Structure 1
Amino acid sequence: MRSWRKLLVSVLSIVMISSSVFISTSEYNSVEAATSYSSLKSKINSIMADSRMKNASTSVTVRKASTGEVVYEYYADKAVTPASTMKLLTGAAALETLGENYRFTTTVLSEGKVEKGILKGNLYLRGQGDPTLLKNHLDSFAASLAKNGIKKVNGNLVGDDTWYDKVRLSAGILAEDEPYYYAAPISALTLSPNEDYDAGSVIVTARPSKNGSSTSVTLTPATSVLQVVNNSKTVPKGYKNTLKITRKVGTKKVIISGNAPLGTSGVKEWISVTDPTAYALDVFKKSLAEKGITFSPGSKVVRGKTPENAKALTSRKSMYLKNLMIPFMKLSNNTHAEVLAKEMGKVVHNEGSWKAGLLVMQDYALSIGLDVTKWKFEDASGMSYSNKVTSRELSELLYLVGSEPWYKYYIKSLPIAGSPDRLVGGTLKNRLKAAPAKGNVTAKTGSLNNIKSLAGYAKTKSGETLIFTVLTEKNRSSTIPVIDRIATTIANN
């Protein structure tokens, strides 16, 4: 964080209580528009008359990206749950605090010596938050150890996740969400199943096998930290596919139920693990075995802290943060958001916790001039229904980041309307697919039950860029079609 920002934060923080403080402002329906925007004002007001918007709790702000001038407001100071548009603040704070070239590190260490192919000591796998660690990276670790002559370990395999605290789930995670990837527990030592980098999850696939038999189940990567309970059945072609995969809350039991008709591809689900550290260790031990590295009969797989005298045997650094921003924001990856919060807390306050990380986010908001009394957040991903922000403040954030040196990475990370490439279009891949919105709206989506939001930038027909934030909650029916009409109207201005 720049020195002037540190000074500003230290002064302003004296009068702040905590990141969880939120002071409500009186609601009002205010519409402001310069003469040149009178047509846009009229069109958006017509859209706001839609029953889906009238029945929802809505906050809208439109402003110029060049000057920050507000050209349209509708209950702009109303506090609304932002859902994943909260990631706009998380991403900005991370780029500023950690830097666009920040990388996460994972290291294999030991305090023992190698004699005649035997490592006489413990083998430590130390994680420092990398959400992009894959099975093939663990394979590379194992290959490096084998190349250095290690054939056997007579100590324990130890997972060191002490870089972060022991709190695994962010506030506001519902029991119904806990079995799935988007609510995976957070650990400094974790593993992702593929290059979407949904850390802390396993891809569970159930496919039809032989008529009358259970489905064929595979886990990617293969791991024993989940226990499969297969109650499904393969049925003749033409039957309805009723396959379902879930995990029993609070347990390791993955329940597979329903019918899988022959000739179908079955079902695939990203299931969260209950213990990311144990998951990484389990897969790493398999990687070691595949390279011929064994353990003594008395060796155990445990969790612990790496001793100071341990020496690094091999290590890996993640991609740069500027590159991680793509899967994080395009795919709205919740675990990335929460990892970044804890990482910011660790780097700034030497505490890898949500409390410390959210404080960093608040301080960043203060430093750029946002009114943090109009923000409430108890997580970094937007999963909590208790998060609140106004459309005015969210649009102000989008204006202020435009002058940041890392802004080019920030804007590049946002989904682009209608783009068929999922790492370009992201969560807007299948929305706003027609002109003038297609390719001209770049924005972050947000979605929870009865909550929909969209916040970002729209290039108008005249070539001007407008910032828009549309937040809706308490929806009786989805407001996405109406929100998309607003974005299209702005792009058509």
Structure 2
Amino acid sequence: MKRRDFLGGLAATLPIAAFGQGMPRPIPRAGRRIAPLEPGTILNASGLGAVTSYLVVDLATGQVREAHQPNLALPPASVTKALTALYAQRYLGAGFRFDTRVLATGALSGNTLQGDLVLQGSGDPLLDTNRLAALVAEVANAGIRRISGRFILVENALPHLQNIDPDQPPQAGYNPGISGLNLNFNRVYFEWRRADNGYAVSMDARSNRFKPLVDMARMEVVSRQTPIYTYRQANGRELWTVARQALGNAGGRWLPVRDPALYTADVFAALAATYGIALPAPQRGGVPPGARSLGESFSPMLTNILDDMLHYSTNITAEVLGLRASAAAGRAAAQLSQSAAAMGRWAESVAGAPVGSYENHSGLSGNSRASAQDLVRIMQSNEARTGLRSILRETELVDDKGNGAPVPGRQVFGKTGTLNFAHGLSGFIERDGQQRLAYAIFAADMVARANAPSEEERPRGARAWLGRAREQEQALLRRWAMLYC
């Protein structure tokens, strides 16, 4: 499975939806290029003026070019990840890498390890089944087929958290648990197909090379209309039910895992069994004295991790990096909100003024708040101008039909963020490769968010609302690129 396919559920994008008659078409002026729309026209056309905050500032002079309710605090969504990237750069360093190790105590007698086997994590959010299989191979290559002692999981590099945001639907794959041992972005693949007596279902940790079945997560198909999914934990297992009426002939989707360390151990044991290695039930603990390394698996370096995180907007990566950065800064936290608050205090010291309040490091919370003014303060800092320059993605400028409409010599870079009935974007506008403007645009309908059913991943009206917010955003960006850059 290609990486883009694997991550598709984490960073799905929606097409721009038409609303009303769309943005009015700019009128050409005699002898000049097409004039950009006026701000009032843009806001009126979207119908979102009352719930929009934006600000654009000249980076050379600090002059405010345009603003609309710049201090209106709204959920920043995944725009938060730009701040998290800066925080991780500051406290972890560009060369930082996560390390997952398999260790052993005791001597090998025949094919039996007379001691413990240890799987130790550092929180690597990119550990996948392929890399875990390589660690299993190291155990097999050492000649081990049985162990007389314990199979120990070491996950204390990070706190064990059941989810990122408790307000999300239970089946949201972008809202998994977190621990010091993570695997496959802490998601398990649920697959179903119609069979003679109903449905055949399976739960696995597939990759492009392996498809180990998972025992710690189980699914039951039940006859009901709603809810589509239910979830509970019992006897060390994660137990799901799904509504029969919601299934077609066949399909599959990634579901979140709440106990990532146990999930990792389950997959490790399934892969070990293919070598004839029998492992006892896993136990949580620390690394025993005298343990020796059998193998290690390293993540890419931080710069590559950040580039990946901002491109795919992976929530678990942001949370793990934020927690590790807080620990490195001497602010180790047991909860995401505590770590995010530490990040906010650091950002305030960098920007020289308040920069919002954050519940976590990914933006997956409707309770975080930031304004356009807050994000522009961050973007004006030297840390942001240098640290985000190579990892922010270019935002394509399009017209009201969704067709490419570049402004010659100008490029827009930014981090976007989307929740139901909330959308934002913040970054830089460049001219001929030079940063000229810092901007932020947020829009959020808090009434619609409050009224949206909590069990629905995409409530009615959310897609159309997002289309309006994105079209408004595009019109503003085209205006600023043409007039001020």
Q: How does 1:5-404 map to 2 (within 5 A)?
A: 43-50=38-45, 52-54=47-49, 56-170=50-164, 172-174=165-167, 176-192=168-184, 199-207=185-193, 209=194, 213-214=198-199, 217=202, 219-221=204-206, 222-231=213-222, 246-248=229-231, 251-255=238-242, 257-258=244-245, 266-295=250-279, 299-349=280-330, 351=332, 353=334, 354=336, 357-372=339-354, 374-401=355-382
**Which residue identity does 1:63 align to in structure 2?**
V
| Deviation per residue, 1:153-178 (Å, 9 max, x gap) | 111211111112234334x431x434
Q: Measure the CA separation in 2 of the matches of 1:111 and 1:94.
A: 34
Inter-CA distance 483–42: structure 2 relative to 1 (3 Å threshold): closer
**Which residue identity does 1:228 align to in structure 2?**
M
Give me the TM-score of the superposition, normalised by structure 2: 0.77
**Which residue identity does 1:62 align to in structure 2?**
V
1:482 aligned to which of 467, 472, 475: 472
How many angstroms does 1:98 deviate by?
0.8
Q: Measure the CA separation in 1 of the matches of 2:56 and 2:152.
A: 53
Contact between 1:164 and 1:188, CA under 8 Å: does it hold in 2?
yes
| Deviation per residue, 1:283-306 (Å, 9 max, x gap) | 0111211122223xxx33221122
Inter-CA distance 177–142: structure 2 relative to 1 (3 Å threshold): same
Q: Measure the CA separation in 2 of the matches of 1:130 and 1:188.
A: 7
| Deviation per residue, 1:209-241 (Å, 9 max, x gap) | 5688525645333211211213599xxxxxxxx
Aligned pair count reads: 418
Question: Equivalent residue of 1:287, what SS?
Answer: helix
Contact between 2:215 and 2:266, CA under 8 Å: does it hold in 1?
yes
| Deviation per residue, 1:353-409 (Å, 9 max, x gap) | 33663354134313323423x51112111112121112112012112146765x2xx
Structure 1 residue 472 corresponds to structure 2 residue 443:
yes
Give me the TM-score of the superposition, normalised by structure 1: 0.76
Inter-CA distance 343–432: structure 2 relative to 1 (3 Å threshold): farther
Question: Equivalent residue of 2:478, what SS?
Answer: helix
How many angstroms does 1:203 deviate by?
2.5
Question: Equivalent residue of 1:368, what SS?
Answer: helix
How many angstroms does 1:418 deviate by?
4.3
Deviates more, 1:333-342 or 1:246-255: 246-255
Q: Measure the CA separation in 1 of the matches of 2:346 and 2:262.
A: 34
Q: Measure the CA separation in 2 of the matches of 1:461 and 1:232.
A: 60
What residue in structure 1 maps to residue 404 of structure 2? 434
How many angstroms does 1:95 deviate by?
1.2
How many angstroms does 1:449 deviate by?
2.1
Structure 1 residue 416 corresponds to structure 2 residue 394:
yes
Deviates more, 1:66-75 or 1:127-136: 66-75
How many angstroms does 1:244 deviate by?
10
Contact between 2:191 and 2:203, CA under 8 Å: does it hold in 1?
yes
Inter-CA distance 97–284: structure 2 relative to 1 (3 Å threshold): same
How many angstroms does 1:75 deviate by?
1.2
Contact between 1:450 and 1:474, CA under 8 Å: does it hold in 2?
yes
**Which residue identity does 2:265 align to in structure 1?**
L
Q: Measure the CA separation in 2 of the matches of 1:86 and 1:120.
A: 48
Deviates more, 1:460-469 or 1:389-398: 460-469
**Which residue identity does 1:434 align to in structure 2?**
G
Q: Measure the CA separation in 1 of the matches of 2:299 and 2:390.
A: 19
**Which residue identity does 1:181 align to in structure 2?**
G
What residue in structure 2 maps to residue 36 of structure 1? none
**C-alpha RMSD over aligned residues:** 3.3
How many angstroms does 1:326 deviate by?
2.3
Question: Equivalent residue of 1:91, what SS?
Answer: helix
Inter-CA distance 249–210: structure 2 relative to 1 (3 Å threshold): closer
**Which residue identity does 2:420 align to in structure 1?**
N
**Which residue identity does 1:368 align to in structure 2?**
V
Q: Measure the CA separation in 1 of the matches of 2:162 and 2:289.
A: 26
**Which residue identity does 1:304 align to in structure 2?**
G
Contact between 1:121 and 1:154, CA under 8 Å: does it hold in 2?
yes
Question: Equivalent residue of 1:94, what SS?
Answer: helix
**Which residue identity does 1:230 align to in structure 2?**
V
Q: Measure the CA separation in 1 of the matches of 2:182 and 2:384.
A: 35
Inter-CA distance 381–404: structure 2 relative to 1 (3 Å threshold): same
Q: Measure the CA separation in 1 of the matches of 2:132 and 2:384.
A: 40
Deviates more, 1:116-125 or 1:468-477: 468-477
Question: Equivalent residue of 2:416, what SS?
Answer: strand
